[in-house]
Chain A
Amino acid sequence: MNGTTPDTDRRGVEEPGSTGRPSSSGTTRPETARSGPAGHGPSSDTIIEVRDLTRDFRVRNGPKVRRVTAVDHMTWSVTRGEAVGYIGANGAGKSTTIKMLAGILVPTGGEVLTCGLRPVQDRRRLARRIGVVFGQRSQLWWDLPVRESFGILAAIHSLPRDEERARTAELVGMLDMGSYLATPVRQLSLGQRMRAEVAAALLHRPELLILDEPTIGLDVLSKQRLREFLIRERREHGTTLLLTTHDMGDVERLCDRILVVDHGTLAYDGTLDGLSRTVGAERVLVVDLAEPCPDLTVPGARHLASEGDGLRQHLAFDPGTTTAARVLASVAEHAEVLDLTIAEPDIEDVVRRIYERGAGSPGN
């Protein structure tokens, strides 16, 4: 597993469960690439290479010892500069994969190269080139002011004085942390602490930032701030992002590529848009009407539900065949529209459908 084999045919191995994968080589689509730097393609170098990666755990249940496979022969790679969402249900193998990428866990089988290094053997060299934020762990010293934690981390990464000062100032400015730099970490709000954690992981200017559930428990405003920062950090420094999340907002706003993992295997690799199209995710138009109205029948859309004697109606449509404007225009022919909302495809719903398809089809 430690042998370095030449990396030809990076994404050549199709996962058995993968549904048709549209342009998986990091091609950015306008809908999903709000944050993506342009101009990188399959020819740019690979920053994460996972080949046939497997990790088993021994689970003791009374006297019996079971082997559980958390990651099962996974093969994929990430190109430098990409922003990749790594999603899946709890226990799908996300954190296990990340720990193998960072050198925390030893793979049971297969091969992994992060920044061209073998994570377990070259852990210390790798630590200088990646930043990792675990939503549930802290890099900071709970009893020290944020500023002092940064100072210690700068010493840990052997940053020269002026470099430390410049980078800290930049991060403090971008993450708006000036007001609480002197506050001990234990007194920070969750949102403040997460920003400090992200800054701590980026202090040494890593090429690759891995975020494990970075927005878990954050309020809407804190999430938004963090996402805006990550988009900017990526734009300005070309940092590669790999993030696991349960929040579809994270994926939609930050990621130009999605890997869906299910029971330790790769179920999908491609864009969010492609994912929605592949499993047929529809958007839902919700209209509030001036007067009660019988269930609407509109060409290109499907009536889902009505509330309040038809004052509010839910219509599903496929963005691939019609547009929201056309559906709305048809509705307007029947009744006066007071207000409307359009629900984006729900990522959890999409992922669930992939799971259902996977469970239904043989050989997966």
Chain B
Amino acid sequence: MNRTLSGLREASQPYRAVLASRIRAQRSYRTSFRADLVGTAVVGLTEVAEVLVLFSAANGTLGGLDLRQALLVFALSELAYSLADMVFGHVDELAVLVREGQVDVFYLRPQPLLAQVVTMDISLRRIGRASLAVVVLAWALVANDIDWGATSVPLLVISLVCGVAIFGANFVTAGGLQFFLLNAHEVTNAFVYGGRHASTQPATVWLRSVTVIFGFVFPMAFCAYLPAMLLLGEPGAEWLPAWLGWFAPVAALWAWTTALLAWRFGIRHYQGGGG
């Protein structure tokens, strides 16, 4: 056990060295870091406001959910997304790294490329947005009528972990495509940010095509809607019954399989960052 631990320490040393330097660098500009924290929290606040406006326009219920229930869906999605964005968000900027020639430099180091790209940065400023999501989630968990039986807490933890994994996988898929589609940002935005937005909504209002894409291809429904329905004891949507929420780990596995395939395909079709 000690041996595997020290082996792990050794193997992670390169990544920890880079990440530690990134964290030091962000903290050394204190004023701008604080401003960034506030900034991302304000972005989160805007998202909350959007849900509130939507519900007041829809007379308090949308897709069979009332505002409290909808805020639970929103908060689960928002927390998972902001954490994934903190760790994986910059992978979506791969086209920029390619143009700057930074990707060529990663090829010259003895670590896997994806691990290097993921650990090249960590956006601590997103803590602002994640904190706001924690507050909304805590409120929604209290305000809703949830049966806190033996399964609810594990369900909540599993859902959050899988949600972060699924959003993270989306960023990696986007990065993989950008290896060779350098102007593909619009395409990747469609599922990265479109998917994020869809995941904050009750799936009952999704069109059939959206249900297929964000229910199963990019399994966004597993990040927030399905676990929320399980917690609330609601039946779920057509094609997306609540019990599917227990299969969030399978969805996460599927998301990462496609992400790694896209990444691998990207690497093999890399054209270099120019002369």
Docked-complex contact B17 and A156, CB < 8 angstroms: yes
Docked-complex contact B102 and A137, CB < 8 angstroms: yes
Docked-complex contact A144 and B21, CB < 8 angstroms: yes
Docked-complex contact A139 and B110, CB < 8 angstroms: no
Whether a CB of chain B sits under 8 angstroms from the CB of A35 is no
A320–B107 Cα distance when bound, in Å, is: 46
Docked-complex contact A95 and B10, CB < 8 angstroms: no
Docked-complex contact B101 and A136, CB < 8 angstroms: yes
Interface-facing stretch out of A2-10, A125-133, A327-335, A341-349: A125-133
Chain A residues numbered 234-260 whose CB sits less than 8 Å from any CB in chain B: none
Which residues of A sit under 8 angstroms from B18, Cβ to Cβ?
Answer: 152, 156
Sorting the interface of chain A by its residue count into under 10, 10 to 19, 20 to 34 or 35 or more gives 20 to 34
Docked-complex contact A158 and B275, CB < 8 angstroms: no
Taken residue by residue from 102 to 142, chain B's Cβ proximity to chain A (1 for < 8 Å, 0 otherwise) reads as 10110111111000000000000000000000000000000
The count of A-to-B residue pairs whose CB atoms sit within 8 angstroms is 73
Interface-facing stretch out of B31-39, B67-75, B163-171, B266-274: B266-274
Taken residue by residue from 145 to 189, chain A's Cβ proximity to chain B (1 for < 8 Å, 0 otherwise) reads as 000100110011110000000000000000000000000000000
Whether a CB of chain A sits under 8 angstroms from the CB of B25 is yes
A124-B111, A125-B110, A156-B17 as given contacts; A137 in contact with B104, CB under 8 Å: yes
- Give min CB distance, A9 to chain B, whole Å: 31
Contact partner of B17 (CB less than 8 A), chosen from A57, A96, A130, A155, is A155
Docked-complex contact A156 and B104, CB < 8 angstroms: no
Docked-complex contact A124 and B108, CB < 8 angstroms: no
Which residues of A sit under 8 angstroms from B105, Cβ to Cβ?
Answer: 134, 137-139
Whether a CB of chain B sits under 8 angstroms from the CB of A232 is no
Interface-facing stretch out of A16-24, A75-83, A100-108, A218-226: A100-108
Residue of B102, B105, B110 with most partner-chain A CB within 10 A: B110
Majority-rule SS of B interface residues = helix
Contact partner of B270 (CB less than 8 A), chosen from A104, A134, A136, is A104
Chain B residues numbered 1-17 whose CB sits less than 8 Å from any CB in chain A: 10, 13-14, 16-17
Which residues of B sit under 8 angstroms from A353, Cβ to Cβ?
Answer: none
Docked-complex contact A90 and B17, CB < 8 angstroms: no
Query: Of all chain A residues, which has the CB nearest B102?
Result: A137
**Chain B residues within 8 Å of A, Cβ to Cβ:** 10, 13-14, 16-18, 21, 25, 101-102, 104-105, 107-112, 268, 270-273, 275
Can you list 28 A-B pairs with a CB-CB distance of less than 8 A? Answer: A95-B272, A95-B275, A96-B272, A99-B272, A102-B107, A103-B107, A104-B104, A104-B107, A104-B272, A105-B271, A105-B272, A123-B107, A127-B110, A128-B110, A132-B108, A134-B104, A134-B105, A136-B275, A137-B101, A138-B105, A141-B25, A143-B25, A144-B25, A148-B21, A152-B14, A155-B16, A157-B109, A158-B14
Beyond A102-B107, A148-B21: 5 further Cβ-contacts under 8 Å? A99-B104, A134-B101, A138-B105, A143-B25, A156-B110
